[in-house]
A and B are shown apart, each in its own frame.
Chain A
Amino acid sequence: MSIAEQPCYTLINTSQDLEPPTEMQLREDLEKGNDKAKAEALRKLIVMMLNGEKFPSLLMIIIRYVMPSQNHTIKKLLLIFWEIVPKHTGDGKLLQEMILVCDAYRKDLQHPNEFIRGSTLRFLCKLKEPELLEPLMPSIRACIEYRHAYVRRNAVLAIFTIYKNFDFLIPDAPELIGKFLDVEQDMSCRRNAFMMLIHVDQERALNYLSNVIDQVNSFGDILQLVIVELIYKVCHSNPSERARFIRCIYNLLNSSSQAVRYEAAGTLITLSSAPTAVRAASACYIDLIIKESDNNVKLIVLDRLIALKDIAAHERILQELVMDILRVLASPDIEVRKKTLQLSYDLVTSKTINEMVLVLKKEVSKTHNEQDSEDVEKYKQLLVRTLHQCTMKFPDVANTIIPVLIEFLADKNELAALDVLVFIRDVMQKLSNLKDLIVQRLLDICGQIKSVKVLRATLWLLGEYCSSIEDIQNVMTFIRQSLGDLPIVDDEIRRSAGETKDEQDISMSAPVQRLVTADGTYATQSAFMSTNAMDKKTLNGPANDRNRQPSLRTFLLDGDFFIGAALSTSLCKLVIRYMNLENDSIKQNRFCAEAMFIIASILHLGRTSLSSKPMNEDDYDRMLMCVRLLNERLPITFQIFGHDCRTALAEMLTIKAQEQKEIEKKLSKEKAATVEPDDPIRFTQLLSSNEFDEKEDILDLTLKQAIGTIGKKDENIFSSSILSKVTQLTGFSDPVYAEAYVNVNQYDIVLDVLIVNQTSDTLQNLTLELATLGDLKLVEKPPSITMAPHDFTNIKANIKVTSTENGIIFGNIVYDITGSQSDRNCVVLNDIHIDIMDYIVTGICTDNEFRQMWIEFEWENKIVVNTTIRDLHLYLTYLLKSTNMRCLTPEKALSGDCGFMAANLYAKSIFGEDVLANVSIEKSAIHADAPVTGHIRIRAKSQGMALSMGDKINMTQKTGFKGVSLTQK
């Protein structure tokens, strides 16, 4: 067995700057040094051995000179030394010397020092050699009756592991421990003994438990925990016993230890699916979440509740408890709040929605008072989203929610406000009865909006949804007010020239101007606000309202002409609606002219140097188009602006809703147990004893998963056949032929190298020398071997992988030929390339996360598309398949054929690294046969990842097109 396959209990990493001592030095110290020197040498030796070196010659030195020492430190170090030292010779036989060691341990087991006895017993738990354990058995048995609890409890553990591994050594162990348990008083000893019985003799454990079941509540928490474990296990293997223990578990729900309560709640649910039991368990969980201050606990217990919700029968019970769950919102951690909101949203029903909305509204008003921090902002956003979702689910509550939410628009916090706007848009579209109310509210609030993005969206909403003359006129008034005197340019020039009659005007507008021109960022905006506030204080009168810098104009002077473009579109829409409602053509024209005048003023401003940034061409075009539209008044453009826009929006929203529904449906489908036509039907009456057979014990299952004994299932046995991963390392005519099967596990690569001696000589000292390039590390060197003529053998080598990068393994085979005088012979091996695709798995992330990461990641690799594929979709699918990436852009957005395509791709490595890609490809419209062109940009946090992913794509482009063009035919 190689080191990599043996169980490993200890890891110590050397610090690099330490000079490793030579074997001679170590030998000197171990043989002649005093206790301190010996301990130090032993320490160094252990560290070196843990890092892969071998010192078989020092074994005897240690037995002769170090073992007899009575020094406690040395004794402890020796225990670790014997734990890691190889105990077998190369051919698998036990080393002779170990018998001597064994005798020393027999003495230590009778040592008067209880701690030495105890730690020796603990070491024996890790010993896997029955030959060594056998002579120790009587001493171990004696230790179980020793005075000190420390010795007893370790003795129980030793007996447990020995019995588990080699039950012939101590066949009566369960009986022995059973008796021990009856008389033992110490809590730790009892726990260990009980734990052993659970694993080896459940019957006995059950009997014991039945005897003491009344006292369980008085036991210590560690004992209670294993009792819960026993009940879980027993009920799993033998469900008919369940009835006996429900009462006991229920009692433990009220244990003084929170850990026991948690465990008991989990077990109670598996014991019984009766509503009372589930309710008790869930109540216990909720109580734990509220009472424990630790966020870790809160999150994990919430996960348990979420898992509980996914079981259809239990969901109903949790629905009753939704108000209790909402109490968790008192916790300040954003993650906890997020999970809680999501869970309670999933659980809310028409019965509880009103109460829930009340609670959420209260939370919203609380956030207004809280200090602004990043988390509070995010929390507000979460609350808005949840309320939004609630309204979509239960439209009745909308009119109570809207007033609360509209308040957010005046907030400085853009995150929440933007979400509110999205919410309002949804409501407007779906619940047209609330339109008037919302428009009214928006008109009330729009004067106080401070953020340009919010104002822009609000203007759009007003433009789109105002439907009465009065409203339209109100909007117009608001726009006029917030733009100030028209035309803007003249007004501004007048102001800066100081031609105003009012002196105060000069004093006020001059600093404003300067501030704006100094820098064009938002800082100036706040400067405006403060000037305004100052003005309010000093001037203090309604007469000066007009002179204050109106908000829209501020934005325009800052150079944000996008809002001008949005305003123009909204004005057009308003004009169109006004014309439909108002029959008087004079009024129609006046209104239209006013709108055109506003747009024209903005256009003019954009062409002067008054604003801090010039207007860009897009905004200019857009505004010009609006002017033209109002000027020409063609019915077709009116139709587009007045009607088709809204239809397009409606369509987009329905598609979104559909997608949402599909996802939900998928989830619920996964939830619903699929019964195949040929599944056996189970009758509970007939199946009482083995009902749980198919469910595996979750405790054992997770343990197996964690230590990695459960292998990955091969999804497609043919495509990932072993043969396809065999790499030829040398030529067929080389004296030594070698080929390797590269087996990639999660964190390591196993090379299984087949070596064939093709000569008729015996090859001595044949060594496979390997070296690596990239983030790979050879765990241990393969040993040298001797090969008979025409013999073949297999050598295994383990290589550790720590990150996703293209790795190369290279090396050679060296050997001597018997009897020949020549130097060593050498055969150079072909390189083995490790494919990073083995480490890339498809991941999922939201659009927002993608954008966030796109901004943050430092490394970008731009690859030019170079392919013979002629179809955009085909290219994308090919790319996705060959890189394991997932396309984040929804199917709908990619459908259709317009000659170009843009999509976002995402994947993750098993080491947790993200890799993003953006594909923008096009196809020449003129030549139908032209291949796809464009480029792919890859972004990742680390350079290696971006580079190797790029290499991979280049490779697939080079090698892959043949296969694809074939399929195309």
Chain B
Amino acid sequence: MRTSKSISEVIFDAANVILLCLLSIVTLYPFLYVLFASISTPAEFVQHRGILLWPKGFSLDSYRMVFENPNIIRSYLNTIFYVAVGTTLNILMTALGAYGLSRKNVMWKSTIMMLIVMTMFFDGGLIPKYLLMKNIGLLDTYWALIIPSAMTTWNLIIMRTAFQGVPDALEESARIDGANDWTILFRIIIPLSLPVIAVMVLFYGVWHWNKWFDALIYLRDRNLFPLQLILREILIQNDTNSMMTSVGGGDRMPVGETIKYATIMVATLPILFLYPFLQKYFVKGVMIGAIKE
């Protein structure tokens, strides 16, 4: 391998590394800026112009104020509820579906699978879905964010592919020992598919954590709002208001500024913390899905 590189190759490599470094900086810097701003002293931060390479002073006041905001606390707890209950239901439903649709000698398996996959390309659209929710009485309940999101077809395909990969011999020897389908699913298939289950927990969990549009159309009661909907009010709607009234004025409240950054951090940190632990699994999960495609 130690052959001398040609000059063009050296240039190619250098340009490549520089380009990828730039991309990484562009990806990462917004988060760093938000982090630095959120722990800066509000008054010092407002004075500052341009790129932040370090927090301006140090203060956790913004975080304290975020956690004193009753809207945020309430919606944070709601989101935790949606994530916990929603993801549990997701894993259960997806596992049941993936198991049944990956067994051999099930007559209606392919028909059911086809009908399910077809829904990826067809759907009734926003309004019929809204009317359905209205008709079955799910509007303005906690269930509005959980039941219609009970599973996704894409994740079903991923889990089904993983279940198909479990050797048949294990299932057959369990059957000889008198195991039924429940036992096989929960004692053999799931324990052998833990990496994929971890990926599913990550995908579904993040999905519930980040979801806001369902809440926007299905919920009126503020007590049910998830965090993202409250975030939208704080980050986007307030800002457009203040932009309209004080263009060029620049007289925004100092703490108001840093509170926004602290809110972003509080809403994003759980995901960023979870990310390194699950990262080694999810690439595998995506690949499994890709093979089947």
Partners in one complex: no
